[in-house]
Chain A
Amino acid sequence: MADRAYDVVVIGAGPAGLAAASRAAESGARVAMVDDNPNPGGQIWRAAAGKSPKEAARWLQAAEANKVEWIAGARVFAAPEANRVALETLDGGYELEYRGLILATGARERFLPFPGWTLPNVMGAGGLQALAKSGLPVEGKKIIIAGSGPLLLAVAKYMRGHGADLRLIAEQAPQAKLLAFGLHLAGHPGKLVQAVGLRAALLGVPYLTSCWPVSAQGSDKLESVTLRRGNNSWTKPCDYLACGFGLIPNVEIAALLGCRMSATGVAVDEYQQTSVAGVYSAGEATGIGGLELALAEGEIAGYAAAGRNDRAQSRFRARNSYRRFAEALEQTFSPREELKSLAHDETLVCRCEDVTLGRVRACSGWREAKLHTRCGMGPCQGRVCGGAVEFLTGWRAESVRPPVFPARIESLARE
């Protein structure tokens, strides 16, 4: 495919990307929106059987009406020179030239290793949801949902609605923190309605706080999960364990471009511009904050990238209020210290290269672990083990080098 040039290129077509692309295009920019997935909407608006929520439909229509060019199934794997990104699709590789770039790369689940977590049918909470939304029948399946955060409840509601035999929701956060969070919700009526709706939908499903899985058992696939709460532990048979300990931002492309990081993700100024001029970031990539914050940040980034800072300012107030909610979210659901002892020395941390925690811990830092054990050097490039290693050892990945995703030789040869 031929290389193409745009005023604004948006990477990621979730809520932040859609809002950014629509606002930039509406302000007169020629916009392309790129995503790895076959359909826009991101993980949260991943269409289930062709249906998407009303708000999603509104943004999808806005992008289309404003003639945003949609590039599906394309991964950005390199930034060969200033103002250019290299993409790969199933049909080959090409480059996009931009004047403004908006990184709306979203987040992934934080996985914490425990014995048995590599067994088939132990998945992320969002992972099982994604599979179910793409047609996996869950009716009658025994499911345990575990980990942390509001996503657990959303997934539980979906599974329940599709006839799953939901056995337990295990939330690692303590009850006291959840109560404080509940009080905070009162300041956000929309969130409160959502929370009450979730509770009603989950009537009868045990929801245990300060509870987490300590091991999964099975031969070649999951058969049972052992859970712990205080001094009690017990084992429950199940077909699927959906387990995720919150979300972590996808910052690889930003890091590749040399953008500065903050404590929560990609660092941005009030117009969502990163430390690299002309490169913006919005949504979960800048810090986990949920749907409304992602939309507000996306709108601001879209307006600003198209040169309309005046319009961007109109969303500042909304964004700041949603940011306070994000802070409460972080305080409530941050993983507790005890989870650091979930993985044993012989537990695999890196699933790509089958590296145990013991081997990683014997190293002095990320660099040595990569060189000596190949931890983080497989196809996922540390996307799964990176969050776990950071939580378990405190090491933060030092540098990102292209290709940020495994790419075919033909695509690399173009560079």
Chain B
Amino acid sequence: MSFTARVVDGLVTGALPGPPGSGVAPTYLSPTGAEIVFLLLGVVAVVSALLVVATSQLVHAALWLVVTLGSVAGMYLVLTVEFVAWVQVLIYVGAVVALLLFGMMLTRAPIGRSPDLDNAHRWPALVAALATAGALVALVVDAFRSAYVDLDVAGRTPGSAAATGATIFRSWVLPFEVLSVLLLAALVGAIVVSRSTSDGA
């Protein structure tokens, strides 16, 4: 059997080689504290994401997006990936949402209810989204039913700033530098695009 076939087979049956020392997975009926916190944060994230796409007030959508992104950061913390969690808070909650609010302000978004935020084909969109959700949830539940990760291992800090920094600046230096060039290009592009009409072109 080829490697790809084995990996696909492992993905389908959930029999990927587990990490060392993971042991047998506990039952789903006795959730740990971390799992309960994670599920609560997940409920908050999903409900506020639903409100982002369902609310009829533009500014409220941005504020619900803050709740979603914040609870995703909380989920990162529960998964012991603390550096990524704080980056998420700084960049997403801090910068991206502020940019979105600026965009709304500059495009004279209506304050208050606007009934025409959804377009004509929202029911086909709902069907497509439900189909996506059904397919993805069925797939991941089937694939990862027996996968279990023990988060509470002494001496293991996979998400600390030290560990993340070491891997980024050892193994991922080239993508990191390429990304900085890409950020510069995006910055210059945004400036050029937004001032092209003012100088008469």
Indicate, yes or no, whether A interacts with B. no
Task: Name A's B-contacting residues (CB within 8 A).
Answer: none
Task: Name B's A-contacting residues (CB within 8 A).
Answer: none
